[in-house]
Structure 1
Amino acid sequence: MSEEKKHYMTAEGKRKLEQELEYLKTERRKQVVERIKVARSFGDLSENSEYDAAKDEQAFVEARIQQLEQIIRNSVVVEDDADNPDVVNIGKSVTFIELPDGEEESYTIVGSAESDPFEGKISNDSPMGRSLIGKKVGDEVTVPTPGGELRVKIVTVK
C-alpha cells in the first residue's frame, strides 16, 4: 500500500476543516436525509427529479466527508518558525515586487487544502508557493508560469 499524501496546513486551516466536517456530519447529513424523505413522498421514484437531486446531494456530502476525513487524518500542522522570521514557509505572509515593473503583491503561503487565491492564500504546491518556500527577504526568485517565467523580489516576510 502506498503512503498517503501529507497535507501541510496551518493550525487555523486544520480547525476550519474540522469545523466543516463536524457541520457536514451533524447538520448537513440530517438535512439531506429529510430532503430525501420529502422527495420520496412525491411518488414514483423513477420519474422523481426531486428524489434524484436529493440523492445526488447526499453522494456529494458523503464524498466531501470522506475527503475531509482523509485530509485531516494525513494533516501536518506547520508551526511558526520563529527562529527564521525572514524565511518564507507555510503559514507566513510574503510580499514581493514583480521585476522589472515593480508591481507589489502579497500572499499567505498555506497548504493545498486551505488555499484560496481570492483571499490571498496560495498553496505551497503551486508554482509560486514552491518557488518562494525557503527563500528570504531580498532574494530574487524565478517563478515558472504558463505564460513564461516571472521574476520577483521578496520584500517582506511575516
Structure 2
Amino acid sequence: MSNDNASFLTQEAYDRLAAELEQLSTEGREDIAKRIELAREEGDLRENGGYHAAKDEQGKIEARIRQLTAMLKEAQISEAPEADGVVRPGTVITACIFGDEERFLLGSREIAGGDDDLNVYSEQSALGASIIGMKIGDTGSYTAPNGKEIPVEILNVETYGG
C-alpha cells in the first residue's frame, strides 16, 4: 500500500532527521523553555525583546518538530534506486526545461542534506509529478504556478550518490 504523501528517504537521511527530531524534542525544548523563563523574569513582557525572540524561536522549533514527525512517519526508506533510464523519486535527473538544461534530485530536500550544489524538486511538485515514470528522451510538460505550460525533455537519469 503506497502513500501519495510519502517521500523517499535514504536510511542515512532518515537517521539524520530522526536524530534532529530527538534533539529538538528534548534539549531544544528544554533550552528554549529556560530562555523564555529567564526573559520572563526581566519584567514587562510587552516590551521584552528577549522574551518575544525566544517565543518566536519556540514556534519555529515546534513547527520543525511537527514537520519532522510527519515526514518520518510517512517516509519510504530505501537505498537510492539504481538508475535504469526511468525517472523515479531518489534519482538525479538532467532535463531540458523551457530550453535550459537543469540537473536536480527528485525527492526531498532532506535527502540532499548539505549538498547545496544540487537543486531538489519534490516528487509532489508540478514538475516532479509530471516527470515520474518518464524515460530518457521522453518529452512532456507541466503547468507552472502562473498557469504557463513548461516543456520538459528528459536527458539523463542517474543514481543519487548521496
**TM-score, L = length of structure 2:** 0.76
What is the CA deviation profile of residues 91-119 of structure 1, one whole-angstrom value per residue up to 9, with x for unaligned ones? 100101246x4x21111100476689984
Task: State how 1:111-130 maps to structure 2 within 5 Å.
Answer: 111=108, 119-130=118-129
Look up the SS of the partner of 1:121 in the other structure: strand
Letter of the 1:137 partner, please give it: I
Measured after TM superposition, the shift of residue 75 of structure 1 is: 1.7
Look up the SS of the partner of 1:125 in the other structure: coil
Identity across aligned pairs (percent)? 34
8 Å contact kept, 1:98–1:151: yes
Letter of the 2:124 partner, please give it: D
- Note if 1:108 corresponds to 2:110: no
Structure 2 stretches lacking a partner, 5+ long: none
Partner of residue 141, structure 2: 142
Letter of the 1:130 partner, please give it: A
Give distance in 1, aligned partners of 2:126 and 2:117.
16
Letter of the 1:58 partner, please give it: Q
**TM-score, L = length of structure 1:** 0.77
Letter of the 1:104 partner, please give it: E
Structure 1 stretches lacking a partner, 5+ long: none
Measured after TM superposition, the shift of residue 142 of structure 1 is: 1.4
Runs of 4+ in 1 over 3 A off after TM superposition: 44-49, 78-82, 111-119
Letter of the 1:127 partner, please give it: A
Q: How many residues align?
A: 152
Partner of residue 38, structure 2: 38
Q: Which has the larger displacement, 124-133 or 55-64? A: 55-64
Measured after TM superposition, the shift of residue 124 of structure 1 is: 0.3
Measured after TM superposition, the shift of residue 126 of structure 1 is: 0.8
Give distance in 2, aligned partners of 1:150 and 1:115.
25
Kindly name which structure, 1 or 2, has the bigger radius of gyration based on alpha carbons: 1
Give distance in 2, aligned partners of 1:107 and 1:48.
44
Q: Which has the larger displacement, 30-39 or 136-145? A: 30-39
Look up the SS of the partner of 1:124 in the other structure: coil
Q: Cα RMSD over matched residues?
A: 2.9
8 Å contact kept, 2:89–2:106: yes
Letter of the 1:132 partner, please give it: I
Look up the SS of the partner of 1:7 in the other structure: coil
